[in-house]
Structure 1
């Protein structure tokens, strides 16, 4: 009987030792601990953003190594591969680019800002009209100002139309009229407008980023002003000013 209990104790101890060895191997074998800071293009810390290791398995065990930056942009990742690729969670503020680490234990990461997106990115807006004369080369095309336009960046939620952006696209298509002067002169092309959505949802600071003249820009701006009803961008639960863009194609048809 005593030999039987001794055998059970030996088996239990062996199993515990094997589990500890396996656990240690997941964390320690061929891995390193890294830390560092994440900043945006302006040099400001990027807070509470998730970083993830690309590795999926260590010693046939599935792993999920992630962390979040603190208020200073600092992060720590433990038990990652020596040559690992880090990814950043999807975010409307920053471009999603892989971060390659070649064995460094300390990283300074700079995230590029994401490109400003049109409200109608997923839906085309075309204002069409029938030609009244044969198509010719436009005699006048107005370009945007040479001064660079710097949109306001730094929010966690983009502004949106009160009834949804898809409804906004429908209303713009319904309300924007093709200016008669543009039809007479065979003017067609894309108009892009930028405007600011204030903290209370009002629209200000309209600017023509791309124009074709003959009243097309004014027609689009006036339609957007009439529609109104925007919900402002949100930063950590607080409304904040943000720039939005809208592109519309003015196109003439022969039928």
Structure 2
């Protein structure tokens, strides 16, 4: 009887290890690489982007278990409208810009969901709509508004899409402190050539 219990215990351990090993698996695409545990990102992930010279580079390393940015590739120095004190805003250069976790490729998963409004198609309206929104010190987005308009329903559609972007932002920093900034997102409406 002890031998049967021992064999059963060994089988249970083996199955646990076998299925436990299957729970976490490596996930790699053109734009990201890291471990998944039951479809949830765990551990350190690398996110990739393309430089203006068409070179594929790491743009972010983010620890999804610790919810912490480990590395980001600095881009151009763009000033942001920054909250300097409650309700007071001023344009400033920041030490670290607001970052969407996963970089531009992850952000594109949402921004490419634009649906061309019928009125804009009928009137051949094309162009860019810029949406501004606040990314607060906790990385939450709010106060979405249209900054540049083209009409024909495009402004409302761009606003709708911008509001679908999840709160997966890393706040901007100045002097090692998180700061609220207004982020500007430009969405392009272009009709297919016939």
How does the TM-score come out when normalised to structure 2? 0.50
Match of 2:108 among 169, 175, 182: 169
Question: Given that residues 140 and 169 in structure 2 are in contact (C-alpha distance below 8 angstroms), is that contact kept between their aligned partners in structure 1?
Answer: yes
Measured in 2, the distance between the counterparts of 1:92 and 1:236 equals 18
Structure 1 residue aligned with 2:143: 205
Measured in 2, the distance between the counterparts of 1:252 and 1:151 equals 37
Aligned counterparts, 1:171-186, within 5 A: 171-173=110-112, 175-186=113-124
> What's the offset of the Cα at 1:92?
5.8
2:191 alignment partner, SS class: strand
Aligned CA distance change for structure 1 residues 218 and 152 (closer, same or farther; 3 Å): farther
Structure 2 residue aligned with 1:248: 187
Aligned CA distance change for structure 1 residues 151 and 210 (closer, same or farther; 3 Å): farther
Measured in 2, the distance between the counterparts of 1:213 and 1:151 equals 29
Structure 2 residue aligned with 1:230: 169
> What's the offset of the Cα at 1:214?
1.7
Higher-strand-fraction structure: 2
Measured in 2, the distance between the counterparts of 1:218 and 1:152 equals 27
Measured in 2, the distance between the counterparts of 1:163 and 1:249 equals 21
Gapped regions of structure 1 (runs ≥ 5) = 1-89, 94-113, 117-149
Aligned CA distance change for structure 1 residues 240 and 92 (closer, same or farther; 3 Å): farther
Measured in 2, the distance between the counterparts of 1:254 and 1:91 equals 33
Question: Given that residues 79 and 91 in structure 2 are in contact (C-alpha distance below 8 angstroms), is that contact kept between their aligned partners in structure 1?
Answer: no
Measured in 1, the distance between the counterparts of 2:171 and 2:133 equals 12
> What's the offset of the Cα at 1:208?
2.0
Question: Given that residues 152 and 242 in structure 1 are in contact (C-alpha distance below 8 angstroms), is that contact kept between their aligned partners in structure 2?
Answer: no
Question: Given that residues 127 and 190 in structure 2 are in contact (C-alpha distance below 8 angstroms), is that contact kept between their aligned partners in structure 1?
Answer: yes
Question: Given that residues 92 and 156 in structure 1 are in contact (C-alpha distance below 8 angstroms), is that contact kept between their aligned partners in structure 2?
Answer: no
The question of 1:189 aligning with 2:127 is answered yes
Question: Given that residues 132 and 147 in structure 2 are in contact (C-alpha distance below 8 angstroms), is that contact kept between their aligned partners in structure 1?
Answer: yes
1:253 alignment partner, SS class: coil
Gapped regions of structure 2 (runs ≥ 5) = 1-73, 81-88
1:218 alignment partner, SS class: helix
